[in-house]
Structure 1
Amino acid sequence: MNRTIKKVAVLGSGVMGSRIACHFANIGVQVLLLDIAPKELLPDEEKKGLQLDAPAVKNRLVNAALQAAIASNPSPLYRKADASRIKTGNFDDNLKDIAGCDWTIEVVVERLDIKKSLFERVEQFRKPGTLITSNTSGIPIHLMTEGRSADFKKHFCGTHFFNPPRYLKLLEIIPTPDTDTGIVDFLLHYGDLYLGKTTVLAKDTPAFIANRVGVFAIMDVLRIMQELGLTVEEVDKLTGPVIGHAKSATFRTSDIVGLDTLMNVANGLAQGLPNDEAKDVFQLPEFLKKMGENKWLGDKTGQGFYKKVKGEGGKSEIQALDLNTLEYQPGTKVKFATLELTKTMDALAPRFAVLVSGKDKAGEFYRKSFGSLFAYVSNRIPEITDALYKIDDALRAGFGWEMGPFETWDALGVQKGIELMQAEGKQPAAWVTEMLAAGHTTFYKVNAAGSKEYYDAETKSYQPIRGVENFIILDNLRTTGKVLWKNAGASIIDLGDGILNVEFHSKMNSLGQDVIQGLLKGVDMAEAGYRGLVVGNDAPQFSAGANLGLVYMQALEQEFDELNMMIAQFQNAMMRMRYSSIPVVGAPHGLALGGGCELNLHCDRVVAAAETYMGLVEFGVGLIPAGGGTKEMTLRTAAKYEEGEPEFNLLRNTYMTISTAKVSTSTAEAFDLGFMRRGDEIVVNSNRVIAAAKAAALDLADAGYTQPTQKTNIKVHGKGALAMFKTGVYAMQQGNYISTHDQLIADKLAYVMCGGDLSSPTEVSEQYLLDLEREAFLSLCGERKTLERIQSILTTGKPLRN
């Protein structure tokens, strides 16, 4: 049957329930959020004369939970207004309303008896044929359906979201033997396409896939660190970005998530896995038991593996726990010779060989931890999943690993991984040995068509990875000869069907000369024999902006002619993209700041991942946008003047967006800020962005794309608006809300957006505004305080307010 999800019921409004509700609201679904009704009145409610049956009382818990979620940071909502799609209620009065819902998700406390009791009530009201799922993270799924009807069982399975559901991409789908296969397929597809998730089919085994392997990895690190005598800070240095894990690494992450959560999962696995060859790893070490007794559970209790204290002069400092004495010690700088060898290695995969060959404790740590991890995951097939790629997917999406265990093993070499585990007295599962004996030397390979395949232990052959048919993965195309041109900062890749892609690969994808050359080359090549151009990449961030270090050096040396030329080249590249004879589509995700934002402002269409943080942030370093950003935002504002809203109001709103360096907290908010326009698209699953951008480029080409012409009729207001802005900025400075240098930058921005000090409203060209913004940018580069601000960002990463 064709199934659509228009309304979802979420039963349980705790941290997970309220945030799952928010994410469904993000994608436009109506949500019914329910929880228990309180059994006692609060003193304030008694003073007001309320009774337990008053709606305000009965919905107190659910309303408080939802408001706490809305107020939390980072926000679970794309826009605060999306909360209007969520209707609250309680189990006593509103459980009957699930009859109008297409999907009911249970997210109550982790107790089987409570869940089963709730499902018994749910079955009284649920409409047959609708979905019913549980978000449990540990209770066996099949036990929950005991006593339920055949229709309930057919439409029931586990849907394990990871917290926070908006940001963590993993959604594990866990069917029971009674779950209809069509329901499983629907949930896998819906989670991917609509919720933006990496959906992973898991077996109904303890902790499913991600927590089973992820918690093993954490607990094994605790074992190895004790064996080697490593400190908390040393382990976090070894298990962070250097191996493609989060900056918070092992112990800082544990503090953020809560040590109680880690201990609960570990205890559950220790008890529920009597036949696991590594079951002893899940036993809590003594220091962790003691921390639990002391309620040192991390951020939620104010201390865990780390604690923030007031140092000399009242300055805050972070102390780390000494696991031998259980006393906190001042932070220390951690350094390993092995890590120093990887500092110049931008790509992750080649680092692993260097790390495991280290002669110090770091090298020993990596040999032990990788060997142990590889042995463990090889033995989990087919126990927790039949396909090895699902383990990699789960760890990347649920724990934020850049590469999963089998991908890491491939990077080191399968035989090398076996040697590491054998050195620790471990052996791989038999299927790995059989794979190598048959001449298959990798877990993954890319076929001639550019699709990634995995080694399937059951068929003893390589099989296509299910669910990625609609993705375009640039790394795969790169290995099959689709790179048509390349320099140090950019590549041009053939996406097929007459569409090219310009990809950046500079540090943080900053826009330097190489990238500009790549953009211009991409437009030239597309115009010469292709139908369109996409600008996108698979890196963690789209682009952090222009090469600020180069700007700083040239300004410091007072090389203003070179700086002027560099800015003009950037402007010309943006205009070349905007006014080419082929459609250009931007495909941003993650950070799209400064020049990265300006690039997208000049595309014919933008197809952005829902988690795109876009903004013109130059003001924060004492500059104004000069890659066409100020011009384009002024142009877009002028285009709205005919819509009836007072023109000065529209101009002021745009001015405030730029002068406060606003960055959208979602792509939906980027529309509100004017960075995205009608016709631009949001793609919830970032893995689908480049494919969707290619489709958009083809749509534009098929519609008969016509080369546009530069605007010469942009209305600017001259002295009238300029006086308004200057008066407001002066008042801000006099009130000590901004510094004198802030005032200077704000006045420069106003001058550009008003078209200079023209005596009356006038229509000007794009080039006129480009010249003004470039002139303002250059003059600010000559200011000492601007250079101090740039230096602060480059050296500390923190903005300076001088």
Structure 2
Amino acid sequence: MSRFQVRKVAVLGAGVMGAQIAAHLVNLKVPVILFDLPAKEGAKNGIVTKAIEGLKKLKPAPLGVAEDAALIQAANYEEHLALLGECDLIIEAIAERMDWKLDLYKKIAPFVAGHAIVASNTSGLSITKLAEALPEEIKPRFCGIHFFNPPRYMYLVELINTPTTLPAVIDQLESFVTSGLGKGVVRANDTPNFVANRVGIAGMMATMIEAEKFGLSVDLVDDLTGKKLGRASSGTFRTADVVGLDTMAHVVKTMQENLKDDPFYSTYATPAVLAGLIEKGALGQKTGAGFYKKVGKDIMRLDGATGEYVAGGKKADEIVARMLKKPAADRIKLLRESTNPQAQFLWAILRDSFHYCAVHLDTVADTAREIDFAMRWGFGSSQGPFELWQQAGWKQVAEWVAEDIAAGKTLSSAALPAWVFTGPVADNGGVHSAAGSWSAAESKFKPRTELTVYQRQAFPEALFGEGSVDALKAGTELFKNEELRVWTLDNEVVIASITAKLHLISPTVTEGLLKAVEIAEAGYKGLVIWSPDDVFSAGANLEALMPVFMKSGAKGIAPEEKKLQDAMLRIRYASVPVVAAMRGLALGGGCELAVHCARRVAHMESYVGLVEVGVGLIPGAGGLTYIARRAAEMAAAGNANADIFAFLKDGFTTAATAKVATSALEARKNGFLLDSDVIVPNKDELLHVATAQVKAMAESGYRAPLRALFPVAGRSGIATIKGQLANMRDGGFISAHDFYLASLIADVVCGGAVEAGSLVSEEYLMSLERKHFCGLLEHPKTQERIMGMLQTGKPVRN
């Protein structure tokens, strides 16, 4: 199948979802036209223009960098429908009104290109009914697409076909959404609320029912159903507030109107407390009050009995919290057998989840895989319901659920399906197997899709029971120590994976990285530094150096610091390309490691910065040297007579304020990524792209940069910076210690007490870094910051 080319996308509807979908598209450099109604007053594009401006102010930020809002082309239905002919994909994202959507389809139909895919972004309306309003020639290219809010950050996208949708169209759209937009796709059946909202909202309704039954307050329920249970930290009621109580009620209404034959229908009744809040206009976070209300600095919770807001903060009983830390089988058994009301509540909601998913699997989803991934990616669960059931012991849990059904304890009297107890699932001990996941509708295990796009994912997210290979046990191992593994998948490219907690860089990690470079140079095309989770490296491991410091003070740290600096230069000047495959946190030493690589391949959600001032230190592994060198390189590229200081200011400020880029796009703007670096939308394609970059560089005759001297801003640059810092200190904007730290940073990035334009080496600047870094270790204010961070995990301002 030829690749589906998406050269331009139209998004219809500039509301909350439409505007943020457009923002995510421009983040990934997909040209987009955002449409809405013509404004009744002023410029016809006024509604869209206002929405685009609003994107710059939203939190969390829908745009990687706010300036990219200008890349969204504004349009209206009265003047610009002909522009639809330029678009390969049209995403309709107007309000959840069937009549409005159908009316819009009639307007756009004559202008849709003959090859374009048309998709409706809806959280639960029938895609088949929507298709009926389209001309016959568009129906084969029409489907549903459901982005979760906020579209930039939520990994889940559901795709829904109709009886007339061509299979190739869904395949093409899945490939684009996966690789081009970086999402995890779940194919859903065209049933009310599809997969994630059907199962997730049913689970929230069940939780509310069980909470009332057991007399538990909203804050206690959220503590029990948050991280302790392996779910989103916001729990149940706070999640409802974030989503919007009116939005939740809308989803519930869809279930009430369309699922009257559902054996769980009685659980879809709108709880009185929810109806009461909506009636009062308390719709959750967006109105300032819902199940919770912020009063000053305090978070108050709703008392369901009185309707008043009272002090919150209730936590799970310690005995229950301990149960939740046990392995799955022990955990479920303890909860079920406990007499503690909190434990009984937790067993009840887990049982309700298992029961609901088993009864509805044959209609809601193609396989159990879709349900588990939908709950992971759409509702923040660490495991889907079927995974947990399987891990806890399929047969035993099934018997317990059946016992509760017989005893009338469950929310529905519907029996568990026969496939739960007999046949392939029972024999396998669950719905996930190496052969695939169980399809209740087809009574067989079905493997994952074989779309070409998934060949780019060496280690896709795995489900319990699939028998997937752990990335850190895969391939051929070439070297390993306690905190780093060196291995290869293809005998062409070496991979170095840091295994230490948060991938902190210790002397052991440094030793491993040097060994990885040595191995790569001995007979491979290059080296990729990659680990299979959401952290590249959170920085240097200060605790690992504590025994050395306690024994020998700063003098003992200096040799270790030099080893780390030398390792950075060894990576920079390796004879084969070293590529940093970055994802998630790349802070402090992690950032310094990345910038010394020959190239960076970064996931869109990479958070990069030099954060050492937060612990009273300055970057000490070449980060400031990098800033000085890049300033000189940029000045030389622009004009041989350019003022280096003009290029230095931003780098200095970024380090002195510990500014962290909140996207790969912002990291590029801040100078931690270069124009030649690659930004990858999908986290699971990072290793594939990084490996391809190494091979391409090697095939192109890669040569390491030549060691060269470069000019610095010198003492005049230092004086200019310190003058500005003095004003900030005297104005009370920074503390005396902040002033001192920033002055030391200025000393390094400007090259110390030399004349402006003096030529220096990286080793010279690193020696300044090392001197100041080690000196700060013995400063009382820095020691306060370090101890505060180690004890609380939060920066101390002193």
Given the two structures, how large is their TM-score scaled by the length of structure 1? 0.90
Asked if 1 retains the 8 angstrom alpha-carbon contact of 2:717 and 2:750, the reply is yes
- One-letter amino acid matched to 1:326: G
In the alignment, structure 1 residue 589 sits paired with structure 2 residue 601: no
Q: Please give the alpha-carbon distance, in whole angstroms, between the structure 2 residues aligned to 1:328 and 1:558.
A: 56
Aligned counterparts, 1:425-440, within 5 A? 425=405, 428-435=416-423, 439-440=427-428
Cα offset for 1:459? Answer: 6.0
1:801 maps to a residue whose letter is R
SS for the counterpart of 1:611 is strand
Distance 2:58 2:602 in 1: 24
**1:232 maps to 2:218:** yes
Cα distance change on mapping 1:444 and 1:583 into 2, 3 Å: farther
Counterpart of 2:772 in structure 1 is 776
Give the aligned partner of residue 733 of structure 2: 737
Pair 1:260–1:147, CA change in 2 (3 A): closer
**Where does residue 91 of structure 2 map in the other structure?**
105
Do structure 1's residue 341 and structure 2's residue 327 form an aligned pair?
no
- Does structure 2 conserve the Cα–Cα contact (< 8 Å) formed by 1:203 and 1:384? yes
Give distance in 2, aligned partners of 1:222 and 1:518: 51
Q: 1:386 aligns with which of 366, 369, 372?
A: 366
Q: CA-to-partner distance for each residue in 1:403-450, whole Å, 9 max, x for gaps?
A: 222332333232343244234327543333345566322433458xxx
Structure 2 residue 410 is the aligned partner of structure 1 residue 399: no
Q: Secondary structure of 2:427's partner?
A: coil
Amino acid at match of 1:354: R
Q: Distance in 1 between matches of 2:188 and 2:619?
A: 48
- Contact 1:564–1:774 (8 Å) recurs in 2: yes
Gaps of at least 5 residues in structure 1 are 40-51, 311-315, 448-452
Question: Between the two proteins, what is the percent identity of the paired residues?
Answer: 37
1:320 to 276, 301, 320: 301
User: Partners in 1 of 2:552 and 2:310 — Cα distance?
Assistant: 46
Which residue in the other structure is 1:512 paired with? 506
CA distance in 2: counterparts of 1:519 and 1:322, whole angstroms: 56
Contact 2:398 2:420 in 1 (8 A): no
List aligned pairs for 1:657-696, cutoff 5 A: 657-696=654-693
CA deviation profile, 1:759-793 (whole Å, cap 9, x unmatched): 45332222222221121111122222222233343
Aligned pair partner of 2:46 in 31, 36, 60: 60
Count of residues paired in the alignment: 772
Aligned to 2:245: 259
Q: Gaps (5+ residues) in structure 2?
A: 463-467
Q: CA deviation at 1:556?
A: 7.5
Q: Which residue of 2 aligns with 1:149?
A: 135
How far apart, in 2, do the equivalents of 1:760 and 1:554 lie? 38
CA contact (8 A) 2:178 2:682 kept: yes
CA distance in 1, matches of 2:676, 2:425: 54
Are the aligned partners of 1:62 and 1:89 in contact in 2 as well (CA < 8 Å)? yes
Correspondent of 2:355 among 361, 375, 379? 375
C-alpha distance 782-227 of structure 1, shift in aligned 2 (>3 A): same
- Give the whole-Å Cα distance in 2 for the aligned partners of 1:181 and 1:247: 38
Is the 1:552–1:787 contact (alpha carbons within 8 Å) kept by the matching residues of 2?
Answer: no
Measured in 2, the distance between the counterparts of 1:339 and 1:672 equals 47
Q: Output aligned runs, 1:488-567, within 5 Å.
A: 488-528=482-522, 530-550=524-544, 559-567=553-561
Q: Which residue of 1 aligns with 2:310?
A: 329
Residues 291 and 401 (structure 1 numbering): CA distance in 2 closer, same or farther, change over 3 Å? same
Q: Per-residue deviation at 1:134?
A: 0.9
| Distance in 2, Cα, partners of 1:172 & 1:799 | 40
Q: Tell me, what secondary structure is at the counterpart of 1:160? A: strand
Task: Give the residue type in structure 2 aligned to 1:6.
Answer: R
Q: Is the 8 A contact 2:332 2:392 kept in 1?
A: no
Of 602, 615, 631, the residue aligned with 1:621 is 615
Matches within 5 A, 1:293-304: 293-304=279-290
Indicate yes or no: 2:64 matched with 1:78: yes
CA distance in 1, matches of 2:491, 2:422: 40
Paired amino acid for 1:236: D
Asked if 2 retains the 8 angstrom alpha-carbon contact of 1:338 and 1:362, the reply is: no
CA distance in 2, matches of 1:290, 1:17: 30
Report which stretch shifted further, 722-731 or 334-343: 334-343
**Measured at CA, do residues 308 and 9 of structure 1 come closer, stay the same or move farther in structure 2, by a change above 3 Å?**
same
Q: Post-superposition shift, 1:356?
A: 5.0
Alpha-carbon contact 2:223-2:235 (below 8 Å) kept: yes
- Output the CA distance in 1 between the equivalents of 2:323 and 2:521: 41
User: Is 1:408 matched up with 2:388?
Assistant: yes
RMSD of Structure 2 on Structure 1 (CA): 2.7
Change in CA separation of 1:72 and 1:481 when aligned onto 2, cut-off 3 Å: closer
Would the aligned equivalents of 1:615 and 1:664 in 2 still touch at CA under 8 Å? yes
Residue in 2 aligned with 1:177?
163
For 2:334 and 2:511, locate their aligned partners in 1 and report how far apart those are by CA, in whole Å: 39
In structure 2, do the counterparts of structure 1 residues 602 and 421 end up closer, same or farther at CA, with 3 Å as the change threshold? farther
- Within-5 A mapping of 1:261-300: 261-300=247-286
Instruction: Report the equivalent of 2:437.
Output: 454
1:294–1:34 distance in 2 versus 1, CA, 3 Å? same
Instruction: Give the stretch that moved more between structures: 208-217 or 385-394.
Output: 385-394
Which secondary structure does the structure 2 equivalent of 1:357 belong to? helix
SS at match of 1:341: helix
Equivalent residues of 2:394, 2:426 under 8 A apart: no
- Give per-residue Cα distances to partners, 1:681-721, cap 9 Å, x unaligned: 11011121112112222223333444556x34132232222
Residue 354 of structure 1 pairs with residue 331 of structure 2: yes
Contact (CA 8 Å) 1:197, 1:685: kept in 2 or not? yes
Letter aligned with residue 437 of structure 2: Y
Supply the distance in 1 between the matched residues of 2:495 and 2:388 (Cα, whole angstroms). 28
Displacement after TM superposition at 1:111 (Å): 1.2
Conserved? CA contact 1:341–1:354, under 8 Å? no
Q: In 2, Cα distance between the equivalents of 1:339 and 1:557?
A: 43
Structure 1 counterpart of 2:717, one-letter code: A
Corresponding residue of 2:11 = 10
Corresponding residue for residue 34 of structure 2: 33
Which amino acid is the alignment partner of residue 470 of structure 2?
R
Q: Secondary structure at the match of 2:536?
A: coil
Contact 1:319 1:329 (C-alpha < 8 Å) held by counterparts: yes
From 653, 656, 670, the equivalent of 2:653 is 656
Instruction: Work out the CA distance in 2 between the residues paired with 1:713 and 1:721.
Output: 18
- Cα distance, 1:355–1:513 mapped onto 2, change above 3 Å: farther
Superposed displacement of residue 571, structure 1? 2.4
Secondary structure (helix, strand or coil) at the match of 1:32 reads strand
Return the alpha-carbon distance in structure 1 between the equivalents of residues 282 and 433 of structure 2: 45
Aligned to 2:710: 714
State the 1:676 CA deviation. Answer: 0.9
Q: Is 2:20 the partner of 1:19?
A: yes
Judge which range, 500-509 or 652-661, deviates more. 500-509
CA distance in 2, matches of 1:516, 1:341: 37
